[in-house]
Chain A
Amino acid sequence: MSAKKVIFYIAILAISLTAPFLLPDFRTQLATLWLMIIVALTWDMTGGQMGYNSLGNIFFYGTGMYVAAVIAIALVYDVSDYTDAAAAGGEIFKFTDTQYFTGMLLGIIGAGLFCAVTAVIIGYLTFGLRGPYFAIGTLGVAIAGGELVSNWEWVGGGQGITLPVYPGDFNVGKLYFYYLFAGTGIVLFIFLKWLYSTRFGEAINAIRDDEEKAEAMGLHTLRYKLTTWGMAAFFVGMVGGISAFQLIHFEPLETAYQTINLGIFMVVCVLLGGKGTLWGPVIGAILFHVIKEVTWNYFLGWQWVALGALIVVIVVFFQDGVMGWLMHRKPEWFGIRVEEKEPAVAGVNQ
């Protein structure tokens, strides 16, 4: 790694760590930004690097929320008593500080592990589906998950679950959650940077480029696909768990299994930034989040319509994303040598 790159990464790290102090009013926004970066990066693991476009990764976010909450509650109280009392608006269950933090730690890790296992099981059933069938199948999983959970009274049904509030100071709590998200995001980024440089990364790229050929070359494709999706689900489940504690209250259809919000945002972020690159999802998430937050208030109720239009425009006109566009214009930045009269898109992968 050259000295320039080292400085660049240290600068990025420094900005990430000091951001909540530089912009103290936007701590929650910045935490959400990290959430977007994480889900975009994990979506790109299967969508961009492996060529399996899932519309249902939000399933793991919602499941992670519920698993984390249930673990945290079950350590101290009976879950059905807890949710019943919340529905009746009756007695309030108290958590001591130790109970709160152990519950959160175990809940978040448990959520990640549970989602990874679920992803392997679902993947075993769905990875025979290709292209649009996979997308629709996974969308079906996400919608079905939300609908089933909203009918499941043990976890609060359509009412959702209310978790205890962060026990310390309100502002310290915001900072705490920011660092939880940022830490997960930084770990994920380093992990992916390493992963994409290994043989494993090459293998999943081979699956994207031509699955039949990859299989003929002796790759056990299903194993690679399951591992990749399991890892993606692990991280999505973990941030789902963190979100559950950050949001305090959540309900199944609009918050946990939010198919049309975060579920589609992550895909749009990746497309906007550039599919199949490491920095693309990060850039896309930052751009998308900033655009969304800045313009949101000017649409007066028409936000969602504008958002749908934005998705259509990005998909139709700007599908290569920022990174794809840069690769077109400045291929030498990416170490791509352009021969004369050869198309300059050698490194851009759809």
Chain B
Amino acid sequence: MDQILGNISLLFEFPVVNMKIIVDGLMIGALFALAAYGLALVWGVMNVKNLAQGDFVMAGGYIAWWLEKQGLPALLGVPAAFIVLWGFGWVVYKLVISRVIERDLFTSLLATFGLAIMMAQILNLLFGSDTQSVQLEYDTLYFIDGFVDIPIAKLIGVLMAAVLATGVIIFMKVSRMGQAIRATSQDSRAARVLGIDTEKVYAFTFSLNSAICGAAGAIIVMVWVIQPFYGITYSIRAFVIVTAAGLGNLPGVIAAGLGIGVAEQYGAHIFGIGYQQAIAVLLLLLVLLVRLLQQRQMRQSLQ
């Protein structure tokens, strides 16, 4: 308890510590937002809640890590993970998701949970249960007398996340496929009547989501650490963000992602690093509770 109070008072005595926490939080939050964006896409278009989201992220991370170990440049891992996970997502869609899409929501949730267990265990068997990361050979920038340090590697990671997100948004707005996806998410029956092959749209959306997650994972391995069993926490973070922001609210997803990142960094600072996973989950409960109270005022339930 004393330690917690000490950590809090440190924040007030040295305001510059806040700066460091916020900068770290925003950088990691950008990556959370990316994975959450994929979830919002799948959720909105095909009403499937994917609990294996975080394991796609971890899989992407391990692909980048493995390629780097083979001597390839680390930055190449991002497009590689994007492509491999695209294919993987397509296979998963054809084998599992396409069969649960019309069923009730718990079915898709449970099926993806089974998938999540499988993927985490396969990653564990292939790569071991140690935490892994890729060290990039870049300098670190120092601001405010060296209190705030920003490794250039992290900046590159955030920049790539931003580029990827912008690319996806432009794609959704401009391209024919993007239009079809948006049409399907508004009304899949009408879209089918108007000649859109919704099956193809679903497959494409799920693959795109999986690829986005893969790329996010490949960036995370460069700026943070990955471990086979961290996947579920990323899934939960993605749920927190989407639940907090609401579906189809892109600025909301970005804002919530950055907010979660900062909140987690503050939590880790105040309570200690051991509570990191717990904080991510407690944030979920907090967000659900707030949304619940909002709905209760309107005499509705969260469904």
Determine whether the beta carbon of A311 is less than 8 Å from that of B288: no
Determine whether the beta carbon of A308 is less than 8 Å from that of B292: no
- Residues on the A chain within 8 Å of B114, using CB: 264, 308-312, 315
A317 to B100, CA, bound (A): 9
Chain B CB within 8 A of A53 CB: yes
Give the total number of A-B pairs whose CB atoms are below 8 A apart.
125
For the complex formed, measure the closest distance between the CB of A139 and the CB atoms of chain B, giving whole angstroms.
8
**From B116, which residue of chain A is reached at the shortest CB distance?**
A308
Q: How many residues on A have C-beta within 8 angstroms of the other chain's C-beta atoms?
A: 42
- Residues on the A chain within 8 Å of B113, using CB: 55, 264, 311
Determine whether the beta carbon of B278 is less than 8 Å from that of A137: no
**From A53, which residue of chain B is reached at the shortest CB distance?**
B106
Chain A CB within 8 A of B173 CB: no
Q: Kindly identify which residue among B49, B110, B117, B301 contacts A260, using a CB–CB cutoff of 8 Å.
A: B117
- Residues on the A chain within 8 Å of B282, using CB: 140, 144
Determine whether the beta carbon of A316 is less than 8 Å from that of B121: no
A301 to B121, CA, bound (A): 10
**From A259, which residue of chain B is reached at the shortest CB distance?**
B232
Main secondary structure of the interface of B (DSSP, over half): helix
Determine whether the beta carbon of A129 is less than 8 Å from that of B292: yes
Main secondary structure of the interface of A (DSSP, over half): helix
**From B278, which residue of chain A is reached at the shortest CB distance?**
A147
For the complex formed, measure the closest distance between the CB of A292 and the CB atoms of chain B, giving whole angstroms.
14
A302 to B121, CA, bound (A): 8
Chain B CB within 8 A of A151 CB: yes
Determine whether the beta carbon of A151 is less than 8 Å from that of B275: yes
14 A-B contacts, Cβ less than 8 Å apart? Answer: A128-B301, A128-B302, A129-B302, A133-B303, A136-B49, A137-B288, A139-B236, A140-B282, A264-B114, A304-B117, A308-B118, A312-B96, A316-B107, A350-B104
Q: Tell me the B residues contacting A by CB distance below 8 Å.
A: 49, 51, 96, 99-100, 103-107, 109-111, 113-119, 121-122, 125, 232, 236, 239, 243, 272, 274-275, 277-278, 281-282, 284-285, 288-289, 292, 295-296, 301-303
Q: A151-B278, A305-B125, A309-B114 are in contact. List 7 more A-B contacts (CB 8 A).
A: A53-B109, A140-B288, A147-B278, A264-B113, A304-B117, A305-B118, A316-B107
